[in-house]
Amino acid sequence: MPKSLTPRLAALRDEIHGYAKEFGLDFFDTVFEMVSYDEMNMVAAYGGFPTRYPHWRWGMEYEQLAKGYEYGLSKIYELVINNDPCYAYLMESNPEVDQKLVMAHVYGHCDFFKNNFSFRHTNRRMIDDMANHATRVRRWVDKIGVEKVEDFIDRTLSLENLIDQHAPHIRRNPDPQRAEEEAKSNERVEGFKVNREYMRGFINPSEFMDSQRKRAEDEKQQRKRFPERPQRDVLYFLLEHAPLEPWEVDILSILRDEAYYFAPQGQTKIMNEGWASYWHSTIMTRRALRDDEIIDYADHHSGTMGVRPGAINPYKLGIELWRDIEDRWNKGKFGKEWDECDDLRARQAWDKKLGAGREKIFEVRKHYNDITFIDTFLTAEFAQQQKLFVYGFNDKRNSWEILDREFRKVKNKLLTSLTNFGQPIIEVVDGNYENRSELLLAHKHDGQDLKSDYARETLRNLQSLWRRPVNIITRYDGKGALLRYDGQHHSEKKVEL
Higher pLDDT, 447 or 102: 102
Amino acid letter, residue 487: G
Which helix (H) or strand (E) element contains residue 352? none
Q: Which residues are paired to 34 by β-bridges?
A: 3, 90
The pLDDT confidence band at residue 199, using thresholds 50, 70 and 90, is low
Rounded Cα–Cα distance for residues 97 and 85 (Å): 25
Does residue 93 contact residue 37 with C-beta atoms inside 8 Å?
yes
pLDDT in tens, 288-346: 999 999 999 999 999 899 887 667 899 999 999 999 999 999 999 999 999 999 998 99
Which pLDDT belongs to residue 135? 97
- Please tell me the predicted confidence (pLDDT) of residue 194: 63
d(CA 83, CA 479): 47
Which of 3-17, 119-133, 401-415, 462-476 shows the lowest per-residue confidence on average (mean pLDDT)?
401-415
Contact yes or no for 78/89 (Cβ under 8 A):
yes
The predicted structure's pLDDT at residue 205: 75
CB atoms within 10 A of CB 116: 21
The confidence score (pLDDT) of residue 393 equals 78
What's the gap between Cα 181 and its chain centre? Answer: 35
In this prediction, residue 215 carries a pLDDT of 75
Question: Residue 400's pLDDT band (boundaries 50, 70, 90)?
Answer: confident
Distance of alpha carbon 348 from the chain centroid: 37
DSSP symbol at 242: S
For the CA atoms of 13, 16, 22, 25, the dihedral, rounded to the nearest 10 degrees, stands at -80
Mind listing the pLDDT tens digit for each residue in 462-477?
A: 999 999 999 999 999 8
- pLDDT for 58-101, tens place per residue? 999 999 999 988 888 788 888 999 999 999 999 998 999 999 99
Cis? peptide before 54, omega within 30° of 0: no
More confident residue, 137 or 212: 137
Task: State the maximum Cα–Cα separation within the chain, in Å, rounded to a whole number.
Answer: 102
Cβ atoms of 172 and 232 within 8 Å: the answer is: yes
Q: Is pLDDT at 175 greater than 70 in this prediction?
A: no
Average pLDDT, the chain: 90
Average the pLDDT over each of 29-33, 142-146, 154-158, 382-386 and give the range with the smallest value. 382-386
Cα–Cα distance between 372 and 415 in angstroms, integer?
A: 9
**Residue 349: what residue type?**
A
CA pair distance 465, 174, nearest whole angstrom? 27
Calpha distance 370→17 (Å, rounded):
27
